[in-house]
Amino acid sequence: MKKILVPVDFSDNAENALFVAAEVARKSGAVLELLHVNVASVYAAPLSEFSPASGYTVEDNNYDETAGAGLERIMTELLGNPEYAGLEIQTRVGDGYLHSTIKNVAEEDGVDLVVMGTRGASGLNEFLLGSNTEKVIRTAPCPVLAVPAGAEKFRPKTVLLPTTLKDDQLTTFRFLAEWQNIFGFTVQILYMNNPSALETDSSAEDLKNALAQKAGLNASEAIITTESFFEDTTILGFSDQVKADLIVMATHQRKGISHVVFGSITEDTVNHSHVPVLAVPVNWSIA
């Protein structure tokens, strides 16, 4: 992992995510890039999760300079922490829609991971707009680590991996194997609803072992469940059961009518999880 992108809106949520990103960067040797986006007026609506922070208004003629100074202040404070004093940190100010700006910057700067804070979305907000984190997960060219408010220091010991055990899950297994080498956590693999139409539980165990071996992942036994209509609720329930510090999921990044019809279990899980969720695009290639 070479570069981690952290969207910063000068909120407590963003600062919380920044320290998680700093921990990943410290462990992996990656460069941190702090990005503040001067968002369009649509993000100032009451239903928005990522409204412009006070003091950084769209109408400010000195917006870039003011926001840039804010990023420099955050960078200085972070480097003042002995744990993160050795990090390489870059800053950047952009403008436009948050998710599209993150996508463009991630592509331009060769980003391997986006880390962002989320307050999730629920009720009417979730139905009409979703959350900015959802939009980033749906469009980002790389994995996204969504950090909920109140998440503690990022030192995962137990990771839950919900999976279909299909071939398109191999990228997620490989990415998780890289992180396992860095953090040394154990992995609980959750297989439910039998999406691969396996005949027996032992078939699921064999398929899990084959994927883990290809990816170089040291995994514990698979957790195999029966039919579950609310899959995100089942995932969160098992996360609590195994005391997971992190949930890792593959995402197909469906858009348009496909997203409306099929939705996304990953995005639903992100919106309601109290532990960080790492979303890995199935078509993403590990450098």
Task: State the average pLDDT over residues 255-282.
Answer: 75
Q: Sorting pLDDT into bands at 50, 70 and 90, what band is 287?
A: low
Domains in the chain, please, with CATH?
Answer: 3-148 (3.40.50.620), 158-281 (3.40.50.620)
Q: Where do the H-state alpha helices sit in 140-198? A: 170-183
**Strand, helix or coil at 105?**
helix
pLDDT at 113: 97
- Running DSSP on this structure, what letter comes out for residue 117? E
* Among 25, 49, 277, 236, CA closest to 151: 277
Of 4-8, 21-25, 116-120, 258-262, where does mean pLDDT reach its minimum? Answer: 258-262
pLDDT at 67: 87
Mean pLDDT over the full length of the chain: 84
What is the per-residue pLDDT across 125-175, written as a single tens digit (0 to 9) for each? Answer: 333 334 788 889 999 999 999 999 887 789 999 999 999 899 999 999 999
Percent of the chain with pLDDT over 90: 55
| CA 142/CA 66 separation, integer angstroms | 29
pLDDT at 105: 96
- Specify burial of residue 172 (Cβ count, 10 A radius: 0-12, 13-18, 19+): buried
* Half-sphere exposure in the Cβ direction for 12 (13 Å, CA): 5
Of 62-76, 211-225, 250-264, where does mean pLDDT reach its minimum? Answer: 250-264
Task: State the average pLDDT over residues 96-106.
Answer: 93
Does residue 271 surpass a pLDDT of 70? yes
* Among 62, 8, 6, CA closest to 31: 6
Q: Where do the H-state alpha helices sit in 80-186? A: 98-108, 123-128, 132-139, 170-183
Q: CA distances (Å), 182 to each of 22, 124, 155, 156, 171, in order?
A: 14, 40, 10, 10, 17
What is the per-residue pLDDT across 8-57, written as a single tens digit (0 to 9) for each? Answer: 988 888 888 999 999 999 999 999 999 999 874 444 444 444 444 444 55
Task: State the average pLDDT over residues 209-225.
Answer: 88
Task: State the average pLDDT over residues 261-267.
Answer: 66
pLDDT at 257: 40
| CA 249/CA 180 separation, integer angstroms | 15
